[in-house]
Amino acid sequence: MKLGTFFTVDSLICAEVFSNSLDFLIIDREHSTFSLNETRMVLNSIYKNCEKYIRVHSCNRIEIQRVLETNPDGIFVPQINSLEAAKKAVEFSFYPPLGTRGLSPYTKPFKYSPENVDNKKIKINKNLKLCLLIEGAEGISCLENILSECGEEIYMIYFGLYDFCSSLGVEANWNNKKINDELEKIIFMSSKKNIHVGTIARSNDEIKLLKQKQVSYIVYQNDVAFINERIFELKKNLV
């Protein structure tokens, strides 16, 4: 099990602090105000022992292309609710023959050099960790097809708790049997393809619960929640 969080705070020092203690960080371009240049600076400030991901703002060819040129370990693509969307995420993320990602050797993934381009391209395709966010009932209903047709290129399926519960009109609570059943379905299907599963926890009890379910990437809230939680504890102890 690996523990990490979504990163939204515009602070390079905070990125260093979080990455020094956590297993992975996900720079969040969907729910933050990060520009691409700010994203790149945060990415470069993350310690090497911490896996570094970027959540792109959408399954958009240009967005994915430009984000991948900053050379993260992987990307999270949100709102995957169909087989077609999953295929697009694969297509935009990988170089041929796996996808149609545009290539320039004068970028960070190629060490700014056209030397050994073909070998570098193969290595980049092999190492890229593509993570798909399944955030609604529609995504779960077509997950089996997604894994069947795209499973070789997928590193992780992330269960988006809040958007899933919003689509059902229920509270985002891990005590809800329906939510647990859907998560277990995702874990079962993904495990058959040796694909990691990730989702969010909001407390120590939820971390323990998800660990028992063999969720391999547990996202503890986000950076702002970490900070707010500690401030609340301090204030409570002063009363």
Question: Which two tokens mark 47?
Answer: 């310690």
- Minimum mean pLDDT range among 83-87, 111-115, 133-137, 155-159: 133-137
Pick the more confident residue, 226 or 126.
126
Tell me which residue has tokens 């609604």. 136
pLDDT bucket at 200, cuts 50 / 70 / 90: very high
Tens digit of each residue's pLDDT (9 = 90 or more) over 17-33: 999 999 999 999 999 99
SS3 196: strand
Residue 139 has pLDDT above 90, yes or no: no
Say if CB 100 and CB 182 are below 8 A apart. Answer: no
Looking at residue 222, what is its pLDDT?
92
Query: CB burial class (10 A; 0-12, 13-18, 19+) of residue 24?
Result: buried
Residue written as token pair 């602090």: 17
Helix, strand, coil tally for the chain in percent (to 5): 50, 20, 35
Q: Is it the case that residue 239 has pLDDT exceeding 70?
A: no
Note if the pTM is more than 0.85. Answer: yes
